[in-house]
Amino acid sequence: MIAVVLVGGEGTRLRPLTLDEPKPVLPIGGVPFMSLLLDRLAAAGVTKVILSCGYLPDRLRAGIGTPPPGVDVEVVVEDEPLGTAGAIRFAAVGRVDGPFLALNGDVLGDADFGALVAAHRTAGATASIGLTPVDDPTRFGVVVHDAQGNVERFVEKPPNADGLGPAPWWVNAGAYVLDPSVLDMIPSGRMVSIEREVFPELVGRGLICVRSEGYWRDIGTLESFLTANADAVAGRVHTRLGGSENAVLIDPSATVADDAIVIGPVLIAAGASIGAGAEVGPDVVIGAGATVAPDATVRGSVLLAGARVSALATVERSAIGLNALVGERARVIDSALGTDEAAGAGEELVGERRPS
Ligand code: GTP
């Protein structure tokens, strides 16, 4: 089985973290997100992964790490963004000769891709869309379907749930199995959206959907990125981290002062250090080599590799970028600092992105 993974987006909602690192290699529990996705694809029997990218391709290549055994990864670079369908076409033509998986490359989950492939084959479908249940459909593409899984219509980001039946609502999870014939329906040379232009054309022509109840989260906003990190450590999504509720995962090469307070779920990666009297957790990931100085507090946050939180500073519900610095007594709340950025000593950032 071949999988095309869409990773060409600029990740604008996750700036400044995505200004110099593409979203798919940002860390979840200290591991590049794409490595976790490759684990999942390997478990589903995928042997070749084509990464369809355009934004920061070199950083993407560098950030992927070593693929799991038996998985070959090819990076295909678009000259300009082609949209979700255009990108699938660009990556798949000439490389697939049977049904293949196509995935949005920014969804953390643990649903079984193998089950989606099996349902597609059993139904003899042209295209199959994986679905996930949500309680609030307004940010998603709702897929209205019958009891047999035949898609009836799509409702993109509805203003409310009127006319959509009872909760939960089943939305497009960004995972598809496509017959190669679908590629012929995608015009070349312009941006084409698979959700808005291709799937509606396929209604009544072999388009099915498959429900899955597993964990599902698009990591594309600051809030969801932080939640995904916490969920991975807490084991709410199954990953190689082996997290569990209230887990305290400390790499043997990290140093934690005896009187530091560490509240799980928390992960402290290789070479990180936590100073005396500091309070770290819950829902915190301290990246490799990051430091939390004495008497600082970090809650509900992610420190990327090499980030530094100075003495008596407070970081809450925030992401601190690679080698970024939070100065002494600074307060960083609901905010994000990009690579090498700083919050000055005593400064207060609330709901800010730096650079904005
Ligand atoms: P935002 O700018 O914050 O909306 O994020 P994004 O750029 O990632 O866009 P979005 O979340 O809508 O994209 C969903 C998935 O499709 C992501 O994995 C993107 O990387 C990918 N994607 C979106 N547009 C393109 C494109 O034109 N080409 C490729 N190759 N991938 C794309």
Q: Are 98 and 180 in contact (CB under 8 A)?
A: yes
Does the beta carbon of 9 sit less than 6 angstroms from any atom of ligand 1? yes
More confident residue, 81 or 177: 177
pLDDT in the model for residue 165: 87
User: What is d(CA 353, CA 223) in angstroms, rounded to the nearest whole number?
Assistant: 13
Q: Which 3 state secondary structure label does DSSP give 159? A: coil
CA atoms of 242 and 336, how far apart (whole Å): 27
Atom of ligand 1 nearest to the CA of 90: 30
Q: Check residue 65 and give its pLDDT.
A: 84
Question: 31's torsion region: left (phi>0), alpha (psi -120 to 50) or beta?
Answer: beta
Distance separating the N- and C-terminal Cα atoms of the chain: 41
Give the closest residue (by CA) to ligand 1 atom 10.
9
- What is the Cα–Cα distance from 310 to 328, expressed in whole angstroms? 5
Least confident of 155-159, 261-265, 324-328, 332-336: 155-159
Provide the pLDDT for residue 90. Answer: 95
Tell me how far apart the alpha carbons of residues 55 and 24 are, in angstroms, rounded to a whole number.
11
* 54 Cβ inside 6 Å of ligand 1: yes
* The pLDDT of residue 72: 96
Q: Are 278 and 263 in contact (CB under 8 A)?
A: no
Q: Which residues contact 35 (CB under 8 A, 6 or more apart)?
A: 64, 65
* Pairing relationship of beta strands 27-28 and 72-77 according to DSSP bridges: unpaired
Q: Which of 217, 242, 214, 232 is nearest to 111 (CA)?
A: 214
**In this model, does residue 284 exceed pLDDT 90?**
yes
With contact defined as beta carbons under 8 Å apart, do 232 and 250 qualify? no
Residue nearest to atom 5 of ligand 1 (CA): 11
User: Alpha-carbon distance 48 to 41, whole Å?
Assistant: 9
**Span 47-62, mean pLDDT?**
94
Average pLDDT over residues 307-312: 98
Mutation test residue for ligand 1: of 106, 107, 156, 222, the one with most atoms within 8 Å of CB? 106
Quick: pLDDT tens for 16-38: 999 999 999 999 999 999 999 99
Q: Where are the domains of the chain?
A: 2-214, 222-354
Given a contact cutoff of 8 angstroms between Cβ atoms, the answer to whether 283 and 265 are in contact is: yes
Query: Is a pLDDT exceeding 90 seen at residue 348?
Result: yes
Outline where 250-322 has alpha helix (H): none
For residue 60, pLDDT beyond 90: yes
pLDDT above 90 (res 256): yes
Give the angle subtended at the CA of 261 by the CAs of 256 and 264, to the nearest 5°: 95
What is the rounded CA–CA span in Å between residue 326 and residue 304? 12
Pick the residue whose CA is nearest to atom 31 on ligand 1: 8
Place of tokens 């390997």: 42
Q: Which of 80, 104, 218 to mutate to test the pocket of ligand 1 (most atoms within 8 A of CB)?
A: 104
Residue 245 CA to residue 260 CA, distance in Å, equals 20
What was the pLDDT predicted at 356? 85
Q: Does domain 222-354 have CATH number 1.10.1040.10?
A: no
Percent of the chain with pLDDT over 70: 100
* Atom 15 of ligand 1: nearest residue by CA position: 104
Secondary structure (DSSP) of 41-56: HHHTT--EEEEEE-SS
The pTM of the full predicted model, rounded to 2 decimals, is 0.95
Q: What is the mean pLDDT of the chain?
A: 96
pLDDT score of 189: 84
190-245: per-residue pLDDT in tens?
Answer: 999 999 999 999 999 999 999 999 999 999 999 999 999 999 999 999 999 999 99
Domain 2-214: CATH architecture, name and number where available: Alpha-Beta Complex (3.90)
Work out whether strand 127-134 and strand 248-250 pair parallel, antiparallel, or are unpaired: unpaired
Using the predicted structure, report yes or no on whether residue 278 has a pLDDT greater than 90: yes
pLDDT band at 117 (very low <50, low <70, confident <90, very high): very high
Q: Is residue 274's pLDDT more than 90?
A: yes
Name which residue sits closest to atom 13 of ligand 1, judged by CA.
Answer: 9
Atom of ligand 1 nearest to the CA of 10: 7
